[in-house]
Structure 1
Amino acid sequence: MRLAIANLHASLGGARVLRDLTLTLEGNHFIGLIGPNGVGKTTLIRAIAGLIPFEGAITLDAAPIASIPPRTRARQIAYLAQGAESHWPLSVTRLVALGRLPHLEPFRKPQAEDEAAIARAMQLADVETMRTRDVLTLSGGERARVLLARALAVEAPLLLVDEPVAALDPYHQIGVMEGLVAYARAGRMVIAVLHDLSLAARYCDRLVMLNDGNVFADGAPADVLTPANLREVYRVNAEVTGEGRAMTVRPTGQI
């Protein structure tokens, strides 16, 4: 999987959000998209998903995303929006199974491979114990994990998730991050918008820090999450300690 973005411009509500952004991502990596509010993180992943108009080029394995038939694109790119909701009284299993729709021919029932994908997704999102429950009876955090499982069930080569741990307690934040790592290690690319910088540092292979609609820093977590970058982009002083899974970012004050 190779995702190439060149000279990308995008506007929302008449305001320019992304400005001449160029970025290339490839391989089975877990990539964190970070930066303060309003710098274009959500706009970028929505453009990659083909959900908003843009200027410039976005290609997936050299094919412009606009040229990929919608059904094929739905198999290649799975997207979980920030604050996604479910408004229908479905069981957890039935909702997760909706992630397999891009793979099914009209009126065709799920096959063994679809059932296996659903089971894998539910395990990664840790929702197996609630499989028979009505989604509308779940807490906000539980529902967020079920919707993540639906996106995982697509088993798309590219998974885009916007703030997947925002509504979760620490135990399930760690579980979701571990699940996204496992999904990437199975030969896929994950791009996640993240605000918890310590979780991003510990679990992501690569971080892309946005500022003012463009890439400010890109690389390994230790190279991106420096005190100097955090002062410049987040306008905070911060202590950065440890390395790998022990890396911690602790803001100590505003600038």
Structure 2
Amino acid sequence: MMAGVSGIEVVVAHSERATLRVGDVFLKVDTDQARIDVEVAAMGMVPVPTPAVLWRKPPVLAIAAVPGTALGRLGEPSTASSAAWTAAGSAVRKLHDAPLPPWPGRSLDEHAARLDAECEWLLANDVLPADLVRRNREIAEAALRPWRPVFVHGDLQLTHVFVDDDEITGVIDWSEAARGDAMFDLAILTLGHEERLDDVAAGYGGDVDLDVIRGWWSLRSLSAIRWLVESGFDPFAPGCEVDVLRARM
């Protein structure tokens, strides 16, 4: 056993991947090595703090823990300061101003097709009230427009952004990094924490389209519910995806 290590923490686990914490080391096990390829490549390219890669032996990637604490958690109030959220917005701007990665991201047509399929599933299985699905499907249309591609994180949940003393100390989980819509990253960062959007926007600077961000809130929530349920997560928990959809009514 490693010195000072009292046990192993399962950070997240589902059929596609699992992350374990052993002391100050995170072990990421992934069934798709292409995702790990993207993660390692992205962390080597971006102008924001990322975890250090310690070693890689497929299917495992070992990375060092970053200092600080996560900006917050979906479904819970964030205790981070306004200055920390503003710093997060500034870090996202640095990422979006960076040179594009050489690999593409999900296209507009792919987003639209997934949204259609997931809304059909939600209605066919009576998962959500029809008026809730249809209203949010209308709101999601704002996100489905051509965008100028930027370097996006692709899964910029607030649990993936770490801060210490109002400074960004690390951004983790880069497996979805690609070319994409800048407003998508801002929407995922503020999902379920709409009250923090002004702080993030202040740090990010101009070019923040609130209608598009709201569209991505609805699109992301509608599109994720089936996967979350099938993977053992609860989108119906207070403050989570279903509550995000209800807030749009």
Superposed pair shares fold, TM > 0.5: no
TM-score for the superposition, normalised by structure 1: 0.30
TM-score for the superposition, normalised by structure 2: 0.30
Higher strand share: 1
